[in-house]
Amino acid sequence: MTRTWQITTVTDAARARISTARLTAAYGVPPLERTRLSAALSARLRQCLTKGGTWRLALEAPTRERGQRLLRVTLTPDREASAAGEPPWRTAVACPESADAWDETADAWDEEVPDDPAALAEALLGADEDTALALDRLGEQEELVAFHREELHQTNQGVLALHAELDAAGRAQREAFAAERKARTEAEEARRRLTFLADASAVLTTSLNHEEILRRLPDLLVPRYAADVDVWLFDHEEGPGRPAPQPAAAVLAARTGRPQYAADHAGGLPGVDDQPPSALDPTRPLLCIPLPTRRAPLGVLTLSPPGTRWDPDDAVMLIELARRASIAIDNARRFEHNRDIAETLQRALLTELPTTPGLRLAARYLPATRGLNIGGDWYDAFRQPDGSLITVIGDVTGHGLHAAVMMSQLRTALRAYAVDGGSPGRLLTRLHDFLHHLQPDLYATAVIARFRPDDPTVTWAAAGHPPPVLRLSDGRVRTLDAKPGAMLGIPLRQEIADHTVRLSPGSTLALYTDGLVERRAEGIDPGIERLAAALGGFGPAELDADLEGAADRILDPLLSDSERDDDVCLLLCHIAGGGERPLPVPAGTDRTRT
């Protein structure tokens, strides 16, 4: 059902507006929507009155569309306006499901609109109640909006504060990550320096030759930590001519014992004094580090940087390396000094071999290449009162000056016992008792061979020593491995037996110490076999012609290793061929064998 109004005058417009407001209220349209509809309709009606003519306002009863009830309002112009292209104005408002029916209310609402202008004005004022109510609601909404605006402002402040905290936390986290990376880098650099320091120290301390240490030092530092390395040792021989000039910073480091940095800029190195650039080379920075020892500085290590300057931590590491290098050089020089003394003492204790017709002797002594180069190996040859020639070779356990001193005492004791005569076995027995009482914790091995004038035999005895090797005149080689006595000095009473073997002209007896034949990986037997093969490889006349050369040719293949842990002694006793006279027999000599 549709309700229509013809609108020509202002009164028609007012009555239509009032009726529309009442009908929409009757159908339960909310006040806010009624106010919007009234405001829009009033504006359209004002335009219609301005244009003139007769307009028709139509309200269609609510119908269901798209799930809701809609009340439609249409304002249609007259024919002239329509012909001029004026379009109708349409709008719709939603009605509740419980709205009253159209036929029950329409006429009643329309009849209530008065024709009297005063009453009409009053009705218009009453129609604006919806507007007042909407304004009240709008005020409430404004207060609510203001309240929510304040809440939103507070929320925004909290969000901003949270963002600030998050930004600060992110900045702190970034700083922590940067600090962690820096710490990790510094730790890696420190580990690298410590590894280098440990490896370099191992390289420097493995050698006991100070010249070799001086050669190794630049190889360790260039080019990683230095572009150039110079070592100034105070008592080092520079060669002919005047000594090389040294930078003033090096001289100052030697005098004060403190590291010096000479450059045209401050070094900023911990524990290092800054000095002006060196007059010898003003463009090159120099780090001069003293080489300290327990007594006085040994010298100065002068370095130039691999780049423009050193890292402070690298400088600290270089100072520590210089200290360790100084200790290594000082220890090597002490060792070399003691070794020279020991070798001089060792060779002073070795005997000049006697010259005997019919018997040739050749001896070789080689100190160990490791250690102090002094040990207990010894050989000796001397005559007894009856004209016999005693040859002996022995080995005192251990190394060093103590072993050398005990070897000297054993040699002296043997010569003293030999004055009373006695066979090799008897002499060794007396040496055993002497060593056991003199030095209970020291032991020795020895083998003694006695050659008697005009006697084609040799008497020998051994105490814990490698067996003699005999080369016969026909080239055959025998190992004299008859049962020896035990080591000299052990806590055991023993009588060492003699052994006799027949010799013919051209025979050679080899006495030696275990350093010649013993190797850690294979023991002693293969070495004795090599010695026997070397001795048997000589021709019949070679030993007669050159016994000294034969001794060297025996040592060469047996000592192919460049380093030896033990001393080496070799004593060759060669019976001359038929062309030479035998050993002379002093008057009154007793030829009986003991």
| Secondary structure of 4-62 in HEC code, one letter for each residue | EEEECCHHHHHHHHHHHHHHHHHCCCCHHHHHHHHHHHHHHHHHHHHHCCCEEEEEEEE
Distance CA 475, CA 176 (A): 87
End-to-end CA distance of the chain: 166
Q: What string of H, E and C letters represents the secondary structure of 511-542?
A: EECHHHHCECCCECHHHHHHHHHHHHCCCCCH
Distance CA 151, CA 320 (A): 68
Q: Are residues 324 and 419 in the same domain?
A: no
Q: Are residues 426 and 561 in the same domain?
A: yes
Q: Please determine, for residue 459, whether its predicted confidence score (pLDDT) is greater than 60.
A: yes
Q: How many CB atoms lie within 10 A of CB 33?
A: 16
Sequence-ordered alpha helix ranges (H) in 420-507: 424-438
Looking at the domain assignment, is residue 594 inside a domain?
A: no
Q: Are residues 394 and 530 in the same domain?
A: yes
Q: Are residues 336 and 408 in the same domain?
A: no
Domain with 536 in it: 351-575
Q: Please determine, for residue 121, whether its predicted confidence score (pLDDT) is greater than 70.
A: no
Q: Please determine, for residue 580, whether its predicted confidence score (pLDDT) is greater than 60.
A: no
Structural domain count of the chain: 3
Grade residue 288 by pLDDT with cuts at 50, 70 and 90. Answer: very high
Q: Work out the burial of residue 470: count CB atoms within 10 Å of its CB; fewer than 13 is exposed, 13-18 middle, 19 or more buried.
A: buried
User: Higher confidence at residue 379 or residue 519?
Assistant: 379
Which pLDDT value is given to residue 470? 95
Which pLDDT value is given to residue 120? 66
- Dihedral sign for Cα 57, 62, 66, 67, please: positive
Per the prediction, the chain carries an average pLDDT of 83
Share of the chain above pLDDT 90, in %: 33
100 token code pair: 């009253």
Distance CA 10, CA 59 (A): 19
Tell me which residue of 565, 594, 358, 578 sits closest to 499, measured CA to CA.
594
Is 72 in contact with 95 (CB distance < 8 Å)?
no
Q: Are residues 472 and 407 in the same domain?
A: yes
Sequence-ordered alpha helix ranges (H) in 206-247: 210-221
Grade residue 584 by pLDDT with cuts at 50, 70 and 90. Answer: very low
Grade residue 113 by pLDDT with cuts at 50, 70 and 90. Answer: low
The pTM is what?
0.53
Which pLDDT value is given to residue 369? 62
Tell me which residue of 590, 159, 572, 233 sits closest to 379, measured CA to CA.
572
User: Higher confidence at residue 133 or residue 389?
Assistant: 389
Q: Are residues 327 and 356 in the same domain?
A: no
pLDDT, tens digit, for every residue of 53-104? Answer: 888 999 888 888 877 888 899 998 877 766 667 788 999 988 887 655 454 5
Q: Please determine, for residue 106, whether its predicted confidence score (pLDDT) is greater than 60.
A: no
Minimum mean pLDDT range among 335-349, 392-406, 448-462 = 335-349
Looking at the domain assignment, is residue 145 inside a domain?
A: no
Highest mean pLDDT among 30-34, 111-115, 335-339, 525-529: 525-529
Q: Are residues 65 and 121 in the same domain?
A: yes
Which pLDDT value is given to residue 241? 44
Q: Are residues 418 and 315 in the same domain?
A: no
Where among 75, 108, 127 does a domain terminate?
127
Share of the chain above pLDDT 70, in %: 85
The CATH number of the domain holding residue 544 is 3.60.40.10
Which pLDDT value is given to residue 272? 93
Looking at the domain assignment, is residue 169 inside a domain?
A: no
Looking at the domain assignment, is residue 133 inside a domain?
A: no
Q: Are residues 396 and 545 in the same domain?
A: yes
Minimum mean pLDDT range among 145-149, 235-239, 519-523 = 235-239
- CA-based diameter of the chain, in Å? 191
Grade residue 126 by pLDDT with cuts at 50, 70 and 90. Answer: low
**Could you give the C-alpha distances from 503 to 338, 423, 459, 574, 578, in angstroms and in order?**
44, 18, 10, 10, 13
Q: Are residues 368 and 470 in the same domain?
A: yes
Length of the chain: 594
Where among 106, 127, 148 does a domain terminate?
127
Looking at the domain assignment, is residue 158 inside a domain?
A: no
Q: Are residues 327 and 363 in the same domain?
A: no
Before 306, cis peptide (omega within 30)?
no
Tell me which residue of 560, 450, 555, 428 sits closest to 509, measured CA to CA.
450
Looking at the domain assignment, is residue 299 inside a domain?
A: yes
Q: Please determine, for residue 448, whether its predicted confidence score (pLDDT) is greater than 90.
A: yes
Where among 307, 322, 344 does a domain terminate?
344
C-alpha torsion angle, residues 101, 103, 107, 110 (rounded to 10): 40
The CATH number of the domain holding residue 256 is 3.30.450.40
Q: Are residues 512 and 402 in the same domain?
A: yes
Q: Please determine, for residue 242, whether its predicted confidence score (pLDDT) is greater than 60.
A: no
Which pLDDT value is given to residue 400? 66
Looking at the domain assignment, is residue 429 inside a domain?
A: yes
Looking at the domain assignment, is residue 319 inside a domain?
A: yes
Minimum mean pLDDT range among 116-130, 175-189, 408-422, 469-483 = 116-130
pLDDT, tens digit, for every residue of 376-426? Answer: 788 999 999 888 999 999 998 876 667 777 888 888 899 999 998 889 999
